[in-house]
Structure 1
């Protein structure tokens, strides 16, 4: 059994697994609402748009996570404003805002001398996380999880039918921006671990996998968290033996699980049709 426990005998591997679990819980919950609301591209946009915030925060000596959060909120608010006040569809607006802010971040990065390698911002550095990264991610994750669980039914109605939510007397606009805020916070919590690009998979795949397997929102939330946490643990463990990036291995594992879930759903559908 040494082969099973050996990777976690190293402190940096334990830290990688711990931060993987920490960020997987809010990401799994958030992914369900993103999938149900059709906001998968929003997670992609916010994760890319935080780059200029990180660079500007470094330039002025502010906390990098604060810069990332501000940039993420600017992206979310700008997308909502442009979509409301123009005929352009949401996916087009997201593409314009995301590419514009990401391009700005790259330009700013090339103009400053930084001790932070761009690869760590883009792809994360799970094997190099420290106590401060773990603590910040844990605090942010706890805030997001508590906020989502406290109003999970309201967010569910908002995701399924915004018109019905408004008729029911729910503060739709407030809930909308709360969801955007928690999305930005979730992306920020993943910054030091999986980076900007690979965080997209954790914000989409768990919810998509759970959606294929179950039709109950409560079960979907639980399953998405279980999938995200399991993929993080197994991905970190497998990366040790494969000598690969933990974040990339986690994303590859989530993709394989999604394919398996899709095949399972197709088999179940054919069985029901045959019956």
Structure 2
């Protein structure tokens, strides 16, 4: 993949960093972005990969139109061969107890910024009739997220959006893949203030494994992939379970004070 360009958002840690690492190992030039300065540390680590191409890091707020425009401009007009729209935020606790600026940031990052970036890069891919898009959705999108209401709703949006966009691009050589992980060992739960919950305190999937599952599915042109057998079962059950029951079950996982002792 030498000479090809991949953009990975939310790449400072976790699944995003592991996705970027896989691209580096395949020889892609990389443009990685996150809303925290650690993105520059991530870039340095990626430069140490044996077959890594040129790597540029951008510390930018992808919840804003200006931030997305800045990232798009940083590609300097180069064709984007791979776009991994992974940037995302979570937020625990009851919706009415959350501060509105934090709840809006989840929506602006997960939905508005992600959709805008895909709109800009996706148009270029369609014009060139080539490209791969990987969207990090979640199995959370199948469940009404009591005590994670906004986050789960944004992931439901992304899951749906990815399938719709894929169908619209069916007659082109642009593929759209949705990666749907479950709870993964990243900084997500600490940042979402959910360490005192059952889901925040129990064992989680390995970020590198999740990223490899998504990367491989993208390279094969698959429409979606749920990482891990447990998550596959959980998502299948969610499709046939009444929403009210799912919301009650989610409360048991995400309500503050349910952490394992």
Q: Which of the pair has more CA radius of gyration?
A: 1
Q: TM-score under structure 2 normalisation?
A: 0.27
If each structure's helix is expressed as a fraction of its own residues, which one has the higher value? 1
**Which gives a bigger RCO, structure 1 or 2 (Cα 8 Å, sep 6+)?**
1
Q: TM-score under structure 1 normalisation?
A: 0.26
